[in-house]
A and B are shown apart, each in its own frame.
Chain A
Amino acid sequence: MKEVLFWIGAIGAIGGAAAVVALRNPFYSVLALIVHLVSIAGLFLILQAEFIAAAQVVVYAGAVMVLYVFVAAYVGGIEEPTLDAIPGQRPLAFLVGAAIFIELSIAIVGSGLLALDSGGPEVALGFGSPAGVGKLMLERFLIAFEAASLLLLIAAIGAVVLAERRRRDESDAEEVLG
């Protein structure tokens, strides 16, 4: 059963990732990324990370992707030049990607960690539940938790400052137009 679910999730994740890279229209790329994220959330569930899987679907596939969809619709279809900026950029990029994959695979398959050849040890019932992760986060990793919340606040303020419509821009645009 776990094997079947793993392969379904893996095919969804790889297909979604390939579609994000290959599709010309950014709007379709965003939709492909949603497929990818939901498949990855399924894999997280098989790995007994229930809280992370739920956060992935709610925060990522929900909130962040809505932001992407709105920006993709606002900016519209971006014309991408078909010519390479550097000659032979595409074949070189595929070569680099294949090199990264082969190198990581050799490192994983050749590692001496015996635990990688098993499904992992038996874990207690509450493994990966909100209670377990939350307790760890609010006790042992409290500083990391607070730093993350501060980072989110700064990013939110930064986004408002960056995307704000300023009067000066509009007068600049008017000067350029007329």
Chain B
Amino acid sequence: MDISYYLVLSALLFATGAIGVLIRRSPLVILLCLELMLNAGNLALLAFSRSLADQQGQVLALVVMVVAACEVVVGLGLIVAAYRRKLPLNVDEFRTLRG
């Protein structure tokens, strides 16, 4: 299977995630769409790692997974904290920090 198929697939998955971030309002689903985009990046990293026969890309993919896990943990903590304070869970309503 040509490496370019994997790269086009990862571009398609990244675009799907970007559409999700743009059209959804619930912060939980936006976090899920960010996961889609990070995984698309990982797929491209591993495809290039295979194409160059070099394992360094796989180490980078592991670091991306760690960063994604941290982002999930902090994001879900924020969602739970917002829910406890009875704030509306809608990203259009979170505008206190807007300049």
Contact = CB atoms under 8 A, between A and B. Distances in A.
Chain A partners chain B:
yes
Interface of A: 2-3, 6, 10, 13-14, 17-18, 20-21, 26, 29-30, 33, 36-37, 40, 43-44, 46-49, 51-52, 55-56, 59-60, 64, 67-68, 71-72, 74-75, 78, 80-81, 85, 89-90, 92-94, 96-98, 100-101, 104-105, 108-109, 113, 115-123, 127-128, 132-133, 136-137, 140-141, 144, 148-149, 151-152, 154-156, 158-163, 165, 169, 173, 176
A92 B18 CA distance: 12
B16 A26 contact: no
Contact of B89 (A75, A109, A128, A140): A75
Interface of B: 1-9, 11-20, 22-26, 28-29, 31-33, 35-36, 39, 42-43, 46-47, 49-53, 55-56, 58-59, 61-63, 65-74, 76-81, 83-86, 89-90, 92
Contact of A97 (B5, B16, B73, B74): B16
